[in-house]
Amino acid sequence: MSFEVRPEQPADRESVRRVVTAAFGADDPAHGADVAAIWEGLGHHRRAGLVAEERGAVLGHVGLSRAWVDARRELVEVWVLSPLSVVPERQGAGTGSALVAAAVATARGSGTPALFLEGSPSYYGTRGFDRADRRGFLPAALERTPRPAFQVVLFDAHEPWMTGQLIYPDVWWEHGAAGLRDPRLADLEERFGISD
């Protein structure tokens, strides 16, 4: 590995925007800009950002932000991993895996009980994440999140009563970023055989 993973700094803002926009905008530049706007719009919900840097250039980024589990007893503050971005020319070279590992370690060290995400089960499942619905959790967008894509890592602070529906901050809903909508959702379910 010729890059290092370090905490995101205020001076990284433009580099992070460039990386997120490139990673998510390969097929649709507007989507890349939208994902970058969500990360920037999280404000006080942002908990940590990590970047992968090589010779002064940022080539990857992962964001960690605050959300809640609506448990029966009380709201439980948790973290969400999103977005994970690597510039297209460096994808598949281990940068994303290093960022995910660093994100999990950062979340574990924070004392949060759980780290959630919506993403590929084949990718994140080999990096420590399990199906969240099998642990008693419901996704924020019940009808639009394929259950295998809704994943979690539980940490030492988690207690058995801390289950329920994940609640995202407003910025996720303002950008329509929770779950997927048709026709993308139907295409994904058909292509990968994803169902409940």
Number of domains in the chain: 1
* Cα angle for residues 100, 107, 157 (degrees, 5° grid): 135
pLDDT of residue 196: 56
Rounded Cα distance between 92 and 174, Å, is: 31
- For 57-113, the pLDDT digits (tens) are 999 999 999 999 999 999 999 999 999 999 999 998 999 999 999 999 999 999 999
Provide the residue range defining the domain that includes 57. 4-192
Which CATH number do you get for residue 45? 3.40.630.30
| Residue 116, helix vs strand vs coil | strand
Counting beta carbons within 10 angstroms of the beta carbon of residue 58, is it exposed (0 to 12), middle (13 to 18) or buried (19 or more)? buried
